[in-house]
């Protein structure tokens, strides 16, 4: 009888341990998702305010594409910061790495906010940030803090990169909603045109443009929500720029 009881207790213990591991995993994932939603919503509000108070400098798609060289230069400058933090050359940053770097830079961010930024940018749930995810964090910090409140030793090339990113986002969000909808992207690009679509005329031209927009929109709208968050937009933009300068040039639009 005692042996049977022992077996039952052992089975219960294994079950509880398994449930505990599952609960911890679910809690971690839920926290990351919750922080991601928090950042998306905060950025959307700040971008709406920016759209109300400041007109974007980019008026046409060609102007966006012509800024890719400056964006690439800025991303390379960001990579130097990333490499400086990644002292072991792992190509990944831990939460501790980011917290120590934020403290050293005197950004004035509390631990809770840094954790939220980190979780939101950790797109793969690896508890590490690669370079593109790191750029999401520092761009979000820029939007939260604005240029005037950043440390004075920030490279002007990086500041200019942040502004180009914001201008590009505002171009694709012509209604100033803080996120990009397909109809907004259609409105912006239909008005100013697309280099590839301009090769045709009339209805075929519009059909080509619509197909191109739909393709690019789907690439950025990971969750098929019908809207693109700033985070999704920036991650996609980074990929386009890096692809343009590391591989053979591609016809994006």
Percent of the chain residues past pLDDT 90, beyond the cut:
49
CATH of the domain at 180: 1.10.238.10
In-domain check, residue 18: no
Whether residue 215 lies inside any domain: the answer is: yes
Domain contains 9: no
Q: What value does the mean pLDDT take over residues 220-241?
A: 91
Among 157, 184, 161, 160, smallest CA distance to 172 is for 184
The reported pLDDT for the residue numbered 13 is: 34
> Which domain, by its residues, includes 100?
28-246
Residue 253 covered by a domain: no
Q: Is the pLDDT of residue 5 over 50?
A: no
Sign, CA torsion 81/82/85/88 = negative
Q: Could you tell me if residue 3 is inside a domain? A: no
Residue 19 falls inside a structural domain: no
Summarised one tens digit per residue, pLDDT across range 220-230 is: 888 788 899 99
Query: Average pLDDT for residues 5-30, to the nearest whole number?
Result: 42
Band (177; pLDDT cuts 50, 70, 90):
very high
Residues 6+ apart with CB under 8 A from 22: none
Q: 209 or 110: which carries more pLDDT confidence?
A: 110
Helices and strands in the chain, H and E counts? 10, 2
From the number of C-beta atoms within 10 Å of its C-beta (0-12, 13-18, 19+), residue 232 rates as buried
In a domain, 6, yes or no: no
What confidence score (pLDDT) does residue 185 get? 87
d(Cα 235, Cα 128) in Å, to the nearest integer? 16
In-domain check, residue 84: yes
pLDDT the model gives residue 201: 46
* Number of separate domains in the chain: 1
Give pTM, 2 decimals.
0.79
């Amino acid at each position: 009888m005692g042996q049977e009881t022992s077996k039952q207790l052992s089975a219960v213990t294994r079950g509880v341990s398994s449930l505990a591991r599952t609960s911890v995993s679910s809690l971690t994932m839920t926290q990351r998702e919750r922080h991601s939603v928090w950042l998306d919503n905060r950025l959307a509000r700040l971008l709406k305010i920016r759209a109300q108070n400041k007109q974007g400098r980019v008026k046409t798609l060609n102007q966006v594409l012509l800024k890719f060289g400056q964006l690439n230069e800025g991303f390379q400058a960001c990579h130097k910061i990333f490499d400086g933090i990644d002292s072991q050359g792992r190509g990944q940053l831990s939460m501790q790495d980011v917290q120590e770097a934020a403290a050293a830079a005197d950004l004035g961010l509390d631990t809770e906010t840094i954790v939220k930024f980190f979780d939101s940018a950790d797109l793969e749930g690896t508890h590490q940030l690669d370079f593109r995810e790191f750029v999401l964090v520092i761009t979000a910090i820029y939007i939260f803090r604005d240029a005037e409140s950043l440390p004075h030793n920030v490279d002007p090339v990086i500041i200019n990169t942040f502004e180009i990113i914001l201008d590009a986002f505002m171009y694709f969000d012509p209604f100033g909603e803080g996120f990009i909808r397909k109809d907004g992207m259609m409105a912006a690009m239909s008005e100013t045109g697309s280099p590839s679509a301009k090769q045709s005329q009339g209805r075929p031209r519009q059909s080509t443009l619509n197909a191109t927009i739909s393709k690019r929109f789907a690439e950025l709208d990971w969750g098929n929500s019908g809207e693109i968050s700033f985070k999704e937009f920036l991650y996609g933009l980074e990929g386009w720029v890096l692809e343009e300068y590391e591989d053979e040039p591609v016809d994006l639009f």
